[in-house]
A and B are shown apart, each in its own frame.
Chain A
């Protein structure tokens, strides 16, 4: 079976990349410093400096500062005091850490169950639609356009647990009793995941739709000749062709769910009774709960630990799946 890989689909890409690299890398021209100065070098430097400066100032410096702060005790006013690994010990001994890790994993599992297959199914269905595809795409993407805070507050209103709440009125019409939604330890997290899926699915659907355009129609024709139905075509043609995108979206989703903050922060504040306390909520709690000045050392220590775990997870994941996307 012929596979459509990025290189065969766009044979000009490699040449283009080489040309671009040549264009931006003065060393490749094997010219001396004088040549570089007479050429585009100084202009390039002038253009590069603001970008480089802002990148260093707003991206890398905070990361380095955070890494240093993880080994300090500071209230950001008095001089910081070096405390070695104390902050890491504090975090690891906190009984809330286990709760936050379990809750974050629970969120990740629910988000994968709800948020991973639904956009794929919707994208496949939308790709089959011949008319109004643009309208459907716009409708699917609409939740992404709504500002997250506005969307969360809207859903908080929908989730009103009284019998007159929006969702409870809707399900009441089909005889289902009012649900507590965010007000119960068991249902709070699934309710948050439902909102998160609604708000993020649009972006994922658009990515899948774009990838589906790249699937060669001949493959579907061949499958049809072999007598494949819709689901067999999806399983044997669409999914294998989207494997690369699916793998990337999977790791992005895992990283995203590990860093979930906005949804529990706005909808439940980590409650009821810490049932939606995620790792990032715990970091926020360390830093900002105490109005006399937070434990910024513990907050940054947990942030560093989370970053390391995610980096290791990503490395292992890409190592394990290295061959999958092209085989």
Chain B
């Protein structure tokens, strides 16, 4: 009898397990609650310092107070090409996430973003976006599926402490590429750290190479975006020769040639890199994610040379998951408006946000480019002026000159794939003294042409 009871009990456990398994496997679209409430997952930078996280949580609380029907759950998210693809394919993106300008149109064309254009059109500033910025998040018909929230121009970040240790004046950063080379050599010789470092992995090698090619007066794509110009534009080879000289003749690039965006930020913040090129608004990430000592920090514009040089620009779009229900999409746009845009457009929100961030020792006033018109940008700057706590004087070489530099958009076709091809080229130049630059570029050109053909 006991045996029978045990068997029945065990069978029950097995059935419950099977039921749980089935329930666990049951997926599907989010059901909308009948009472109109919504819970949305929103992106938050991964690995924030405690103060930055407290700042975020305070803003969530303020949003939920203003919108009692919406519950916000934070999900750590940092855009990188491989992790984004994985999240996209696996359906694990938060409801609100950010993407670079380069991906906006492609994702919209693939139907991989929610169409929130009608909700965006209702925002009071919907028609005030800088058209050059807004187009990165527009569909073919001009509908705004993704919202620009930040724009940047590349800059040269440098470590003032290492500059001083090498006998360089941190208030007079290099203004030509030859001066950058000399400074790198001087820093490397004096401190043993990398005078100049560059990203090479996770598609960032191609991104920074393209930045330098533009600064040297060249392009990696034809004007009509129908073909790559890797082996035909002399500036591409010129930049690679320049990097080769820093690496092998001067030995001023340190010992790490596999940096990506995260690891180069880490090493720069920890004082192991004299100079590197990245987005001009990177100061916030360096402080909130890498505990940068503000006293170490310096920022200047990239030197421009050659016949038609320019500054590679880019930016960030906020987008909504296509899996979000209509109620969630509406809540998501409210969050984007509150968290990303009201702090730029609404004086009360701007002041509150800046005051809160400053009270938590979070950076206020890091350099950025306007996503609306110049007048709105200047008004915003005046609103936050009392709370600015970033070392603005140390960024003056950048902020004084950035608006005079002609901006160039990133290549339009197969951007990330071509960047990945160029990762290999840059790595080869930095890890092989005898690298045949012309052959590397010929091979990369052939592969890039195949990508352009495939992209149609």
A13 to B257 CA separation, bound complex (whole angstroms): 57
Tell me whether B14 and A185 are in contact (CB under 8 A).
no
Interchain CB contact under 8 A, B255 and A50: no
Q: How far is the CB of A263 from chain B (nearest CB, A)?
A: 14
Name the contact of B112 in the complex, choosing from A75, A268, A271 (C-beta under 8 A): A75
| Chain A residues whose CB sits within 8 angstroms of the CB of B21 once the complex forms | 50, 53-54
Q: Is B307 an interface position by the 8 A CB rule?
A: no
- The reply to whether A271 and B258 contact each other, CB–CB distance below 8 Å, is yes
Question: In the complex the two chains form, is B86's CB within 8 Å of A292's CB?
Answer: no
Asked if A291 meets B14 with Cβ closer than 8 Å, knowing A268-B258, A272-B257, A272-B427, the reply is no
Q: Are B424 and A288 in contact (CB under 8 A)?
A: no
Interfacial residues of chain A within 254-288, with CB under 8 A of chain B in the complex? 268-269, 271-275, 284-285, 287-288
Instruction: Kindly state the separation between the CA atoms of A88 and B99 in the bound complex, as whole angstroms.
Output: 31
A275 CA to B202 CA, complexed, in Å = 15
Bound together, the chains give a CA A95 to CA B17 distance in angstroms of 48
Do A185 and B85 contact each other (CB < 8 Å), given the known contacts A77-B112, A269-B202?
no
Contact: B432 with A293, CB < 8 Å? no
Within 8 A of A (CB), among B404-446: 414, 416-417, 420, 423-424, 427-428, 430-432, 443
Residues of B within 8 A of A192 (CB): none
User: What is the 8 Å Cβ interface bit string for chain B, positions 66-81, against chain A (1 contact, 0 not)?
Assistant: 0000000000000101
Does chain B have a CB within 8 A of A319? Answer: no
Chain A interface: which of B56-64, B103-111, B166-174, B350-358?
Answer: B103-111
Main secondary structure of the interface of A (DSSP, over half): loop
Within 8 A of A (CB), among B88-106: 88-89, 99, 103, 106
Q: How far is the CA of A182 from the CA of B81 in the complex (A)?
A: 23
A47: chain B residues at CB < 8 Å are: 10-11, 14
| Contact call B85/A287, Cβ cutoff below 8 A | yes
Nearest A residue to B254 via CB reads A162
Nearest CB on B from A241, distance (A): 42
CB pair A271–B203 under 8 Å, yes or no, is: no
Distance of A255 from chain B, by nearest CB (Å): 25
**Chain B residues, Cβ within 8 Å of A292:** 85, 103, 106-107, 110, 112, 416
Q: A183-B255, A185-B432, A292-B103 are in contact. Are A76 and B89 (CB under 8 A)?
A: yes
Contact A50 B17 (CB under 8 A): yes
Contact A289 to B81, CB < 8 A, known contacts A47-B14, A271-B423, A296-B89: yes
Residues of B within 8 A of A289 (CB): 81-82, 85, 203, 416-417, 420
Least Cβ distance of A115 to chain B in Å? 24
**B427 lies within 8 A of A271 (CB):** yes
Give min CB distance, B56 to chain A, whole Å: 24
Confirm or deny: B394 has a beta carbon within 8 angstroms of a beta carbon on chain A: no
With A183-B257, A273-B427 known to touch, is A53 a contact of B11 (CB < 8 Å)?
Answer: no
Q: Contact: A78 with B18, CB < 8 Å?
A: no
Q: Are A78 and B110 CB-contacts (below 8 A) given A47-B14, A273-B427?
A: yes
B447 is an interface residue with CB less than 8 A from chain A: yes
- Pair B416/A290 contact, Cβ less than 8 Å: yes
Q: Which of B7, B106, B111, B202 contacts A78 (CB 8 A)?
A: B111
- Chain B interface, number of residues (Cβ within 8 angstroms): 50
Question: Which residues of B in the span 283-298 have a Cβ within 8 Å of any Cβ on A?
Answer: none
Report the bound CA distance from A78 to B110 in whole Å. Answer: 8
Kindly list chain A residues whose C-beta atoms are within 8 Å of the C-beta of B383: none
Distance A42 CA – B110 CA, assembled complex (angstroms): 49
Contact yes or no, A291 B423, CB < 8 A: no
Which B1-48 residues have a C-beta within 8 angstroms of A?
A: 7, 10-11, 14-15, 17-18, 21-22, 25
CB neighbours of B202 from chain A (8 A): 269
**A269 contact set on B, CB distance < 8 A:** 201-202, 258, 260
Assess whether A131 is interfacial by the CB under 8 Å rule: no
Distance (Å) between the CB of B213 and the closest chain A CB? 19
Q: Which chain B residue lies CB-closest to A188?
A: B431
User: Assuming A50-B21, A162-B255, A271-B201, is B106 touching A288 (CB within 8 A)?
Assistant: no
Of chain B, the residue at the smallest CB distance from A93 is B450
- Measured CB to CB, the closest approach of chain B to A285, in angstroms, equals 8
Q: Which residue of A lies closest to B103 (CB)?
A: A291
Give Cα distance in the complex from A280 to B95, angstroms.
Answer: 31
Q: Could you say which residues of chain B place their CB within 8 Å of the CB of A162?
A: 192, 254-256
Residue A251 at the chain B interface, CB threshold 8 Å: no
**B220 located at the interface, meaning its Cβ lies under 8 Å from any Cβ of chain A in the complex:** no
For residue B17, which residue of chain A has the nearest CB? A50
If A54-B21, A183-B257 touch, whether A291 touches B416 (CB-CB below 8 Å) is: yes
Residue B200 interfacial (CB < 8 Å): yes
Min C-beta distance of A97 to chain B, whole Å: 13
Q: A77 touching B257 by the CB < 8 A rule?
A: no
Measured CB to CB, the nearest residue on chain A to B260 is: A269
Q: How far is the CB of A183 from chain B (nearest CB, A)?
A: 5
CA–CA, A49 and B15, complex, Å: 9
Which single member of A75, A183, A285, A293 contacts B431 (CB below 8 Å)?
A183
1/0 per residue B251-268: CB within 8 Å of A? Answer: 000111110100000000
Of residues A47, A95, A284, which shows the largest number of chain B Cβ atoms within 10 Å of its Cβ? A47
In the assembled complex, A161 has its CB within 8 A of some CB on chain B: yes
Q: In chain A, residues 36-67, which have Cβ atoms closer than 8 Å to a Cβ of chain B?
A: 42-43, 46-47, 49-50, 53-54, 57
Verify B110–A272 contact, CB threshold 8 A.
no
In the assembled complex, which residues on chain A have CB atoms less than 8 Å from the CB atom of B79?
291
Chain A residue contacts of B82, Cβ below 8 A = 284, 288-289, 291
Q: Is B84 an interface residue (CB 8 A)?
A: yes
* In the complex, per-residue mask of A73-86: 1 if CB is within 8 Å of any chain B CB, else 0: 00111100000000
A4 and B443 CA atoms in complex are apart in Å by 59
> In the complex, what residues of A have CB within 8 A of residue B417's CB?
289-290
A275 and B427 alpha carbons, distance in the complex (Å): 10
Q: In the complex, are the beta carbons of B89 and A294 less than 8 A apart?
A: yes
Closest CB-CB distance, B77 to chain A, in whole Å? 13
> For the complex, what is the distance from the CA of A261 to the CA of B161, rounded to whole Å?
40
Residues of B within 8 A of A43 (CB): 7, 10-11
Given contacts A182-B258, A183-B255, A185-B431, contact A50 B85 (CB under 8 A): no
CB neighbours (8 Å) of B192 from chain A are 162-163
Residues of B within 8 A of A184 (CB): 431
The 12 listed contacts between A and B (C-beta, < 8 Å) are A47-B14, A77-B322, A178-B255, A183-B258, A269-B202, A272-B257, A273-B431, A285-B420, A287-B85, A290-B416, A293-B110, A294-B89
Interface residues of A, Cβ cutoff 8 Å to B: 42-43, 46-47, 49-50, 53-54, 57, 75-78, 95, 160-163, 165, 178, 180, 182-185, 268-269, 271-275, 284-285, 287-294, 296
Minimum-distance CB pairs A-B, first 8: A161-B255, A273-B428, A272-B431, A50-B18, A292-B106, A291-B81, A162-B255, A288-B85
Give residues in B with beta carbon < 8 Å to A: 7, 10-11, 14-15, 17-18, 21-22, 25, 79, 81-82, 84-86, 88-89, 99, 103, 106-107, 110-112, 192, 200-203, 254-258, 260, 322, 414, 416-417, 420, 423-424, 427-428, 430-432, 443, 447
Contacts A43-B10, A272-B200, A272-B430 supplied; 4 other A-B pairs, CB < 8 Å: A46-B15, A272-B258, A273-B431, A290-B416
